[in-house]
Structure 1
Amino acid sequence: MTSPRSTTFEGPTVTIQRVAQQCVLTRVFPPELVDAVVAEAGRVERRQRLLPARVVVYYVLAMALFSGSSYEEVMRLLVEGLAWESGWQRAWEVPSKPAIFMARKRLGSEPLQLLFGAACSPLAAAATRGAFYRGLRLMSLDGTCLDVPDTAANDEAFGRPGSSRREGGGAFPQLRLVALSECGTHAITGAALGPYTSSEQELTDQLLGALSPGMLCLADRGFYSFERFQNARRAGAQLLWRVKSNMVLPRERPLPDGSYLSTVYSFSDRHAHRDGAQVRVVEYGIDDPGVPQAEERYRLLCTIEDPDRAPASELAALYSERWELESTLDELKTHQRGPRVVLRSKQPAGIYQEAYGYLCTHYAIRRLMHDAALRADIDPDRLSFTRGLRAARRSTRSHPGFSPPDDRRRPTASDQ
């Protein structure tokens, strides 16, 4: 006799496959939205081309989905199985690499940046497991760097890390990325990009406007400054940020759960104790000999001052959720892009375009996985990102879901 569980429960793999019956890219970024951001960026064509802007946007997304394929092969995979009533496909051949390069150059990076901003918002619903703490949406800030091709233009625009083994610095120039991510779904909902020579802190300042009431934002000790903490606080989100162990935090009012209230000041006002801001401090250690640096003390600044709303023991346990963004960035850099693989573009503008393409495509995969988790009533963390990536690739090849803008004139080779 078959058990009730086996007849009603869909395994994670089956659930992802069922949800991916529509092209993952056009499901999240429908053609109407793509056309809107192209128009907003002023990239609408004045004449019909072999590679219209709409197609090039999807091509950039597909580059991030099929990162191991050549330029021409990415285009073949993208248009595989299409049946366009306009006759565009019947008159169309896979463009050459130079034609694709020129189409990407015409498009620029702004449409992809606008697309990311328009579509990539928090995913978790009330029923999403592991995405909230006492009604607050868990978010996290963190940064990383992406290797870019070693060209003179990229080296000048981005810079590279120092290296004692190589004259002039590390092996590759690098693009710096700071991301704001939803912990429970691994969806990156905000991103700031800049050269390696920029700091994570200044890029973080560009993301604070993405915080909003109803969020609880986690951040490591490298992100704290008085001004940055206050600006994030003014955005309306609750904060749980780690600070350095040598920061002076007088114990002004002990609280029943072991935490205490203190006052923080800007660097210039700390000695005069002028224009300070009250915070709650949670201090704890990890008592586990199996954990490196187990004796290290953690100090967290929290804007939730009432211990009944957020007990110190829960906040200490909650801070580990910040590491979910480490996993998210690993998905982006290692699984989606490929280990030890640099971005493709030889010019800085192409690097920014490609990076936003990676961010958009990662979000589309994570939305697929979130929807599958909701359907199966499981935590999204239980689903394999690699399986989600494979399902997204299959859906793009079998259900592309887009066409070029309708135009009865068939393009010719001179339109390249």
Structure 2
Amino acid sequence: MPRPGQTKSQGERFSDRIAIGVLTRAFPPELVDEVVAACGRTEQRSRLLPARVVVYFVLAMCLFSGQGYEEVARLLTWGLERLGRWERGWRVPTTAAISRARARLGPEPLEVLFARVCRPVAGPDTPGAWFRGWRLVAVDGTTFDVPDSDANAGFFGRPGAARGGAGGAFPQVRVAVLAECGTHAVFAVQAGPLAVHETELARGLFDALGPGMLVLADRGFVGFDRWRETAATGADLVWRVKRDAVLPVVEALPDGSYVSHIVAARDRDRRADPSRVRVVEYTLPGDTTVYRLITTILDHRAAPARELAGLYHERWEVETVLDEIKTHQGGPRLVLRSQHPDGVRQEIWAMFLVHHAIRDLMHQSCVPTGRDPDRVSFTRALRVVRRQVTDQAAFSPQDTRPGTRRHPS
């Protein structure tokens, strides 16, 4: 209840705003059914675990990462059981039954669901999400440990194996992401074997970019072809480059930056077919390191050098995003569950779907007050969402439409 003198909105806590079934809020049953049908996963007969429920189970599995399969099923359906939302004959499936159901579903419905739902979420007034009218986004990569099965090791590979040794303890899947800096919402993901460098995976992210975005990237992503391909989306770029990059001064600008050009490595000597860039060089107080940024924004008045230098630290927001997913949502020393590559892909999409749902909900809770989403604790939001999913699960494990027959498989 609001305190004396407070309006209802002013008296609400963050937990009051987030206290809804986050999985079905973000991914309504009707949409899940549509995606399942589009992927050809609709069942021909009634099952104990129909495809819709398996989608929600996989999402819940990535929300309760430390729990076993059967415990996740109990957590997900406990609120429904308490409220009598299904026939008493329904039982919690075994681990083997859940594994078979996941295999039937495959990774495609989760991938399609991500493409349908996950977008940048910041509004025009979201604090920290914009720079002079550009939506700030950042690209980065990471790896996830996966179970040490022959299938996973053969498909994904393991760290160190390429150097002739036995390799690391676990195979790893490599992932590249695009995230909105102001809200931490991930809106593009690519995953592949460890041998595929994150800069190659990043090429699969470009379709999510467009005019009005400003893409931040670390020096590991810079490459002439990637630069051109990313700039061709219409987005503007601010990328850090290595100190030894050859950047001749073509035109000095009043703010201390200068116009230069970059070329492909194969054309370095001839300087053929160059792309014009603007270069910003700066140092930080107490540090002699010279930082070099290149940008597609050639007009220094539109984005002064000092402001771009101060802006670059926003790139680290994507590092925080990956920490939220791997350390807090997934738990310390996270190893994914799936013994087979298709299950790993399914799990990767689900991990990012759940994170996006939480981050979108956090953003929406901040809209009425204009609060910066970065000021809200992701860990606290995660705890609240976990509690509320068990209390307010919003789907039935069986089709409860009138006249529907229920025959467990």
TM-score bracket for this pair, using the shorter chain length: over 0.9
The corresponding residue for 2:372 is 379
- TM-aligned CA deviation for residue 134 of structure 1: 0.6
What is the RMSD computed on CA atoms of the aligned residues? 2.3
The Cα of 1:146 is off from its aligned counterpart by 0.5
2:406 matched to 1:410? yes
Unpaired runs of at least 5, structure 2: none
Q: Map of 1:18-57 to 2, 5 A cutoff?
A: 18-57=16-55
1:199 aligned partner: 197
Of 220-229 and 82-91, the range deviating more from structure 2: 82-91
- 1:84, distance to aligned residue in structure 2 (A): 11
Q: Deviations over 1:248-296 (max 9, x none)?
A: 10011001100000111112222222211111111111122xxxxx211
1:310 and 2:306 correspond? no
- TM-score, L = length of structure 2: 0.94
1:216, 1:239 within 8 Å by CA — same for their partners in 2?
yes
- CA–CA distance in structure 2, aligned partners of residues 9 and 19 of structure 1: 10
Q: Hey, which bits of structure 1, 4+ residues long, moved more than 6 A? A: 2-9, 83-87, 163-166
Identity %: 52
Distance in 2, matches of 1:296 and 1:32, equals 54
Selected match of 1:358 from 351, 358, 371 = 351
Cα pair distance change 1:229/1:361, threshold 3 Å: same
Q: Structure 1: give runs of 5+ residues left out of the alignment.
A: 289-293
Q: Does the 8 Å contact 1:86/1:406 carry over to 2? A: no
Question: Once the two structures are superposed, what CA deviation does each residue of 1:343-363 show, in whole Å capped at 9, x if it has no partner?
Answer: 111111111111111000011
Partner of 1:90: 88
- Are the aligned partners of 1:91 and 1:411 in contact in 2 as well (CA < 8 Å)? no
Alpha-carbon distance between aligned partners in 2 of 1:349 and 1:262, rounded to the nearest angstrom: 45
Contact conserved, 2:19 with 2:384, CA < 8 A, in 1? no
Q: 1:82 is paired with a residue of what secondary structure?
A: helix
TM-score, length of structure 1 as denominator length: 0.93
2:68 to 70, 78, 90: 70
Partner of 2:137: 139
- Report the equivalent of 1:390: 383
Aligned length: 405
CA separation of 1:84/1:32 partners in 2, compared to 1, >3 Å: closer, same or farther? farther
Contact 1:120–1:189 at 8 Å: present in 2 too?
Answer: yes
Bigger RCO (CA 8 Å, 6+ sep): 1
Q: Is the 8 A contact 2:19 2:385 kept in 1?
A: no
The 2-side partners of 1:284 and 1:116 are apart by 39
Q: CA deviation at 1:25?
A: 0.8
Distance 1:274 1:394, change over 3 A: same
Cα drift, residue 333 of structure 1: 0.3
Answer yes or no: is 1:346 the counterpart of 2:339. Answer: yes
Post-superposition Cα deviations, 1:131-150, rounded to whole Å, max 9, x if no partner, equal 00011100000000011111
Match of 2:249 in 1: 251
Stretch moving more, 139-148 or 31-40:
31-40
Separation of aligned partners in 2, 1:166 and 1:361: 38
